[in-house]
Structure 1
Amino acid sequence: MSVTCTGEDRNLRLTVSGEVDHHGARAIMQELDRQVDAGLPRRLTLDLSGVTFMDSSGIAVLLRAYRRMAELGGALTVANVPPQALKVLRAAGLERIIRFE
């Protein structure tokens, strides 16, 4: 599991690759917190194009990102969600509160 961060003008993009399970989710959330605290973005995009597996721990990652951006008055978008991960996220009903591209 790896997280790559890019951004400019208070737009932050976190690209996640590998498995998002219990262990990976913890590392993703720690990096998410570090990057959000450092950049105070107005817009955060989580790019999940490299995710090979996701369990319910991925739900916690997205909810954490959503709450952090709400605290800042910013917006969250989730992009490039693989089919398996999308099933997990849809089962939780996250498309009702989070924007998916």
Structure 2
Amino acid sequence: MTVKFTRKGAVLIVKVYGELDHHTAEYFRQKIDSEIVKSTTRDIIFDFSKLDFMDSSGIGVLMGRYKNLIQLKGRAAIVNPNKQIRRILEMSGILKIMKAYNTNEEALEEFNIE
């Protein structure tokens, strides 16, 4: 798995490549937590356009980051998950608390970042 970070205004965009599973979940958690502390970011877009697979460990990491962001009065969104990952996100209930968008631009508009 590879994780790349970019910023658009105060929003952190986290692009994930590969698989988010029990082998990579802790690495993913540490990378995101470190980046949040470094940048004092409160709003995050998880760009899953290059994510191939996710299991329950990935769901757990997403939920944990979401809870942390809510405590900071932040927001989170998911962008472009494939059909399999979208189904996992729906079944887990994550899409009831984090909205999914087709593009980063759509999510940024929702966050009022142009």
Runs of 4+ in structure 1 deviating by more than 3 angstroms, as ranges, are none
In structure 1, the gaps of 5 or more residues are: none
Counterparts of 1:17 and 1:64 in 2: how far apart (Å)? Answer: 20
* Structure 2 residue 43 is the aligned partner of structure 1 residue 21: no
**TM-score normalised by the chain length of structure 2:** 0.82
Give the secondary-structure state (helix, strand or coil) at the position aligned to 2:7.
strand
Q: Could you say which residue in structure 2 is the equivalent of 1:77?
A: 77
Root-mean-square deviation (CA), in Å?
1.2
Show the counterpart of 2:44.
44
What TM-score results when the alignment is normalised by the length of structure 1? 0.92
- 1:87 and 1:20 map into 2 onto residues whose CA distance is 15
What code does the residue aligned with 2:88 have? V
Residue 42 of structure 1 and its aligned partner are, at CA, apart by: 3.2
Q: Percent identity?
A: 33
Give the Cα–Cα distance (whole angstroms) in 1 for the partners of residues 97 and 52 of structure 2.
Answer: 24
Displacement of 1:9 in angstroms is: 2.8
Counterpart residue number, 1:89? 89
Residues 15-73 of structure 1: CA distance to partner in whole angstroms, max 9, x if unpaired?
00101110111111111100111112132101011111111112112102211211211
How far residue 8 of structure 1 moved from its aligned partner, in angstroms, is 4.2
TM-fit CA distance, 1:14: 0.5
SS class of match (2:4): strand
- Name the CA distance, whole Å, in 2 between partners of 1:76 and 1:98: 6
Q: Which protein shows a greater Rg?
A: 2
Residue 98 (structure 1) shift = 1.2
Equivalent pairs counted in the alignment come to 101
Task: Structure 2: give runs of 5+ residues left out of the alignment.
Answer: 102-114
